[in-house]
Chain A
Amino acid sequence: MIEQKRSLPGTLYFIVMMVFLYLPVLVLIVFSFNNSVILAFPFKGFTLEWYKQLLGARELLLAARNSIIVGISSSLVATLIGALAAVAVTRHHMPARNFFLGAASVPLVMPSIVLGVAMLVLFRRVFDLQLNLWLITAAHVLISIPSTILIVMARLADFSHNLEEAAMDLGANYWMTLLKVTLPISLPALIAAFLTAFTTSFDEYAMTTLITGTDTTLPVYLYSLLRFPRRLPVAVAMGSIIMVISAILVITAEKLRSIGTNRVQKENKI
């Protein structure tokens, strides 16, 4: 870099943009502690009432449990699938490699509503299935596959194939080598991939709501709360919790990913 000196207008612009990005949400979180049903200035007083109401809401806790189950199981499967595909792409001479990577990235460029509608039609019309959490889980796996493949690929690309070769020379069979050599090498990336998939799943609304039956996930439940103005503060309190949990997960995933890939500015970040 030739110009490392700070530019004042640039710094100001950066700060203004960060305020723009964070202020709306922070204001909302602050108001989740406001002692009034209406979200308006001035601040009436501090209360934990809305959070207490949350704890008492059975449906909400069920939705939270569902979201955690769907999140964990879909992320585990997506990470496994993504890792295997990443090994195939980086460690093997794969025919039609670019075609495969292109096809695997399609969920990334599909508008959620189209994906949701297409799955709804398949599940209901073709297979005549009752919509349930397992179908939501399977759908979440699909939308996380592109990112898990890319994250693990980025990590594996930084390591030469020598370690695996050595293990096989010493008599380990292929799957043993994957388990004992490749798995530990890619562990930080695997965790980052898992967390990325989990945050995606935990926050997914636009597609999920279309394939939701009787059991709802947290975002779907949050959205249904919005229909009742009196419950808005409760919805905001719940949104704040989701926000904080996902922020923690994002930071952790980001930390692991930067360990995982060495090169911080990789194109695969996104």
Chain B
Amino acid sequence: MTTLNRKQDSAGKTNRPGTETKLAGIPRTGQLVMLVAPAALWLIFLLILPLITLVMLSFQKSAFGPDSTVFSLNSYIEFFRNSAYQRLMLRSLWISLLVSFFTILLSYPLAYYMAFHGGQKQSLMLNLLIIPAWTSFLLRVLAWRVILGSSGLLNTFLLWIGLINQPITGLFYSQTAVVITLIYIWIPFAALPIYVALQRIEPGLLEAASDLGSRPWQAFLKVTFPLSIPGILAGFLFVFIPTVGEYVTPAMVGGPNGLMIGNIIWDQFSRGLDWPMGATLSLAILVAVLIPLVLAARVAQKSGALGGGR
């Protein structure tokens, strides 16, 4: 894109100096403003403004009524004092880390196979991978709810074919169920960026490694894997970020032991309980998401690329 800009600049300078503005009728900056304004307005009104109000709400004593103008640090104090919030926050982070780790572990070989052994069928494989990622999230969670339940498909299937005599309990409504379901949901999202990173590795590099006498596994450790780290990072973010704030999956398959911080936030707002507390907890999620994001950006800057680098 930089080349394009340069091309356009030089064309403007050599061919018709100054005429660009006249031809357009509107000065160049005017055009630019009109092109960017709608996106900017949307971002300001539906992203920045809501976030500012969220921060302000977190410092209020109450969301409605006369107390809403009273400045208060109550929800922050409550957040640090009440161990239930911290436990839930830690559990959410733990679940997110577990899910991210296993999702990447399962996705990496998948991406590797598509990138290096996919051959002609690569785009077909890619489509097969993408379709579930973009289709009904709820249905895919629902599938696991129906499969894992004590009178669910898995148990009745196993009973029916005679593999077990008693239905297995404890699968459903547990943290494990949340982790399994989310791994299942996110696999395409993690496999895709890893695939893209592997795809961009110059075949010449691997040839050079093997010419210089390295065995395939050495070449993998020294060349392929380091070059795929940007993809792994992107995959990690794509999984970790939505998982920290997840509340639908825990509500559907998690049971009381699988609840996450998102469920508490949802309760605060949808039941009209303590909105300032909910706002504080939402900001806690944002901070939790921001840390890996900044770290990843740092690493990406050092290694020179994160997915979108040129």
Interface size class of B (residues with CB under 8 A): 35 or more
Q: Does A179 contact B (CB under 8 A)?
A: no
In the complex, A102→B72 CA distance in Å? 33
Q: Are B203 and A2 in contact (CB under 8 A)?
A: yes
In the complex, A240→B138 CA distance in Å? 11
**B73-81, B82-90, B237-245: which one contacts chain A?**
B237-245
Q: Are A122 and B53 in contact (CB under 8 A)?
A: yes
Q: Closest chain A residue to B39 by CB distance?
A: A85
A118-B53 contact given A1-B116, A113-B265, CB 8 Å threshold: yes
A265-B132 contact given A41-B153, A174-B25, CB 8 Å threshold: no
Q: Are B50 and A11 in contact (CB under 8 A)?
A: no
Q: Are A24 and B143 in contact (CB under 8 A)?
A: yes
Q: Does B199 contact A (CB under 8 A)?
A: yes
In the complex, A60→B153 CA distance in Å? 26
Q: Chain B 211-240 against A: per-residue CB contact (8 Å), 1 yes, 0 no?
A: 000000000000000000000001001100
Q: Does A62 contact B (CB under 8 A)?
A: no
A80-B38 contact given A24-B140, A114-B245, CB 8 Å threshold: yes
Interface size class of A (residues with CB under 8 A): 35 or more
- Count of chain A to chain B residue pairs whose CB atoms are closer than 8 Å in the complex: 302
Minimum distance in angstroms from B101 CB to a CB of chain A: 17
Q: Are A265 and B199 in contact (CB under 8 A)?
A: yes
A111-B31 contact given A14-B114, A145-B39, A173-B23, CB 8 Å threshold: no
In the complex, A153→B308 CA distance in Å? 12
Q: Chain B 77-110 against A: per-residue CB contact (8 Å), 1 yes, 0 no?
A: 0000000000000000000000000000010011
In the complex, A87→B245 CA distance in Å? 33
A21-B187 contact given A27-B153, A205-B248, CB 8 Å threshold: yes
Residues of A bordering B, CB below 8 Å: 1-7, 10-11, 13-14, 17-18, 20-22, 24-25, 27-28, 31, 38-42, 80-82, 84-85, 87-94, 100, 103-104, 106-107, 109-115, 117-122, 125-126, 138-139, 141-142, 145, 149, 153, 157, 160-161, 165, 168-169, 171, 173-174, 196, 199-200, 203, 205-206, 209-210, 219, 222-223, 226, 232, 235-236, 239-240, 242-243, 246-247, 249-251, 254, 258, 264-270
Seed contacts A94-B32, A113-B247, A169-B16; 7 additional CB < 8 Å A-B pairs:
A85-B39, A100-B39, A117-B282, A125-B53, A205-B138, A266-B196, A270-B192
